[in-house]
């Protein structure tokens, strides 16, 4: 039932009361017409008798500024001041105030509970407010129907911890259906091997997905005219596969490329929440070491995956992913090493092809290796798996047979060129 002032005008109510006072109509009848209680009716009559000229049923909501303790007010201004410094620093990837982050920060660090509208109100009054820029309309709905149908994979290079004085790479993988972040790590250098490690972690923990969605970075895609030093007119875009793409091909995973900056932006939006909070926390905790930042990254991912309702799916990512897996709404496949390969090292690795010389030797970056169990001039495929001790395991394959396994120093192999 709509409120009285929305259904009747002041003049109509005055006329009803006047008829009642002249005893032209009974109270019960007017109550039914007005759909109000006996108490409410007599309150209107009393107000009319007190001052008929200014009588009104219009409801005027008074906007009241809620007073808060000075300590809370002080902390709000303090944190807003930090936000302003970040926004004005062009090297830091922060371009707007995050009032929700400040609200969470006050509760976590100061044990102070304050509403978001109160924080925004203080921000406006003290000059810590920026109008949101106009953005083009975009579709935020989930376009996939299964978990593992599409993995959004991205790399961002920013000054995540300003005190460190150096930019780091943030590599992330996210399931489009559940919005669950499956993988995230910070690195000082971006290499093909770093992205291959993300594939190894994700596939061995969650399974092999149906497809990956990435941009056209040279690590993910060979583009003729951009990536070739000596141009070969018979080699076109996608005819030569980068190391990362070769791993996906071995696992029979489809690769989808974002062909424009606008499409690339759709990859980056789901990570904005994570990136935004990572920088702010690193600043407030005075982080200068990448290991400290990695710890904070893990905490933020746990909060995102397990505690926050996603604005698009209206579900917590972890719960949405688990429900999909339990109900068979998933395109993840179990990871298994298929013959002739014998180990995950044969799949998640760097690869090069060589032809054995007359002395059964091959060379990699001026390093010479004698290969057993092969004939001169045979073609071999070398699968290189970097180990954690600075060495790399070289697995020599010929005619679908593992013919030799050797080790060498990663630095001497110069794996960054592969």
Q: Please check whether residue 137 lies inside any domain of the structure.
A: no
Kind of pairing, strands 151-158 and 211-214?
parallel
- Confidence label for 23 from pLDDT (cuts 50, 70 and 90): confident
**Residue 272 pLDDT > 50, yes or no?**
yes
pLDDT digits (tens, 9 = 90+) for 143-170: 799 999 999 999 999 999 999 999 999 9
**Residue 133 pLDDT > 70, yes or no?**
no
Buried b (16+ CB within 10 A) or exposed e, 347-371: bbbbbbebebeeebebebeeeebeb
241 and 300 assigned to the same domain: yes
Return the pLDDT at 139: 46
Tokens found for residue 61: 């909501």
198 Cβ neighbours under 8 A, 6+ residues apart: 153, 171, 173, 183, 185
Q: Is 132 helix (H, G, I), strand (E, B) or coil?
A: coil
Q: Please check whether residue 145 lies inside any domain of the structure.
A: no
pLDDT digits (tens, 9 = 90+) for 374-410: 999 999 999 999 999 999 999 999 999 999 999 999 9
Return the pLDDT at 341: 96
Domain that holds residue 117: 70-125
103 and 241 assigned to the same domain: no
pLDDT digits (tens, 9 = 90+) for 197-236: 999 999 999 999 999 999 888 899 877 555 654 544 444 4
Average pLDDT, the chain: 88
33 Cβ neighbours under 8 A, 6+ residues apart: 16
CATH of the domain at 258: 3.30.420.10
Return the pLDDT at 113: 93
Please, are residues 150 and 176 in contact by the beta-carbon 8 Å criterion?
A: yes
Over residues 39-57, the mean pLDDT reads 89
The Cα-based distances of 156 to 47, 164, 217, 268 in angstroms read 66, 17, 12, 9
Q: Please check whether residue 55 lies inside any domain of the structure.
A: no
As a whole number of angstroms, the longest Cα–Cα distance in the chain is 122
37 Cβ neighbours under 8 A, 6+ residues apart: 31
Residue 227 vs residue 189, higher pLDDT = 189
Q: Please check whether residue 140 lies inside any domain of the structure.
A: no
Over residues 345-367, the mean pLDDT reads 95
228 and 171 assigned to the same domain: yes
Q: Which of 61-70, 71-80, 285-294, 318-327 has the lowest mean pLDDT?
A: 61-70
**Residue 85 pLDDT > 80, yes or no?**
yes
240 and 309 assigned to the same domain: yes
Share of the chain above pLDDT 90, in %: 66
Domains in the chain: how many in total?
Answer: 4
Q: Please check whether residue 141 lies inside any domain of the structure.
A: no
Return the pLDDT at 235: 47
Q: Please check whether residue 184 lies inside any domain of the structure.
A: yes
85 and 227 assigned to the same domain: no
pTM of the model: 0.77
């Amino acid at each position: 039932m709509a409120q009285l002032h929305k259904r009747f005008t002041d003049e109509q109510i005055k006329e009803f009361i006047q008829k009642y006072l002249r005893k032209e109509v009974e109270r019960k009848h007017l109550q039914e017409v007005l759909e109000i209680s006996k108490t409410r009716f007599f309150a209107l009559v009393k107000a009319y008798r007190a001052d008929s000229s200014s009588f009104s049923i219009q409801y005027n909501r008074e906007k009241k500024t809620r007073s808060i303790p000075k300590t809370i007010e002080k902390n709000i201004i303090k944190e807003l001041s930090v936000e302003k410094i970040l926004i004005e620093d062009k090297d830091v990837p922060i371009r707007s105030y995050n009032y929700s982050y400040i609200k969470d920060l006050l509760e976590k660090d100061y044990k102070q509970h304050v509403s978001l509208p109160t924080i925004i109100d203080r921000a406006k009054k003290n000059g810590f407010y920026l109008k949101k820029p106009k953005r083009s309309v975009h579709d935020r709905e989930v376009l996939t129907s299964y978990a593992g149908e599409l993995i959004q994979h991205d790399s961002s290079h920013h000054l995540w911890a300003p005190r460190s004085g150096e930019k780091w790479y943030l590599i992330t993988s996210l399931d489009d259906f559940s919005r669950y972040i499956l993988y995230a790590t910070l690195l000082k250098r971006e290499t093909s091997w770093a992205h291959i490690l993300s594939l190894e972690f994700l596939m061995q923990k969650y399974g092999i997905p149906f497809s990956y969605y990435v941009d056209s970075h040279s690590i993910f895609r060979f583009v003729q005219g951009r990536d070739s030093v000596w141009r070969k007119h018979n080699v076109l875009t996608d005819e030569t596969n980068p190391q990362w793409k070769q791993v996906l091909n071995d696992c029979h995973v489809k690769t989808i490329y974002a062909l424009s900056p606008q499409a690339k932006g759709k990859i980056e939006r789901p990570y904005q929440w994570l990136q935004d909070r990572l920088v702010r926390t690193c600043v407030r905790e005075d982080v200068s070491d990448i290991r400290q930042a990695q710890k904070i990254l893990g905490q933020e991912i746990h909060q995102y995956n397990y505690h926050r309702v996603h604005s698009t799916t209206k579900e917590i990512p972890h719960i949405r992913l688990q429900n999909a897996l339990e109900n068979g709404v998933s395109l993840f496949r179990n990871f298994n090493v298929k013959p002739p390969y014998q180990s995950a090292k044969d799949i998640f690795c760097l690869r090069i092809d060589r032809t054995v010389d007359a002395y059964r030797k091959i060379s990699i970056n001026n390093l010479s290796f004698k290969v057993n169990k092969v004939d001169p001039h045979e073609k071999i495929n070398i699968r290189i798996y970097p180990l954690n001790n600075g060495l790399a395991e070289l697995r020599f394959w010929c005619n679908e047979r593992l013919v030799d396994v050797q080790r060498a120093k990663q630095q001497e192999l110069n794996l960054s060129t592969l």
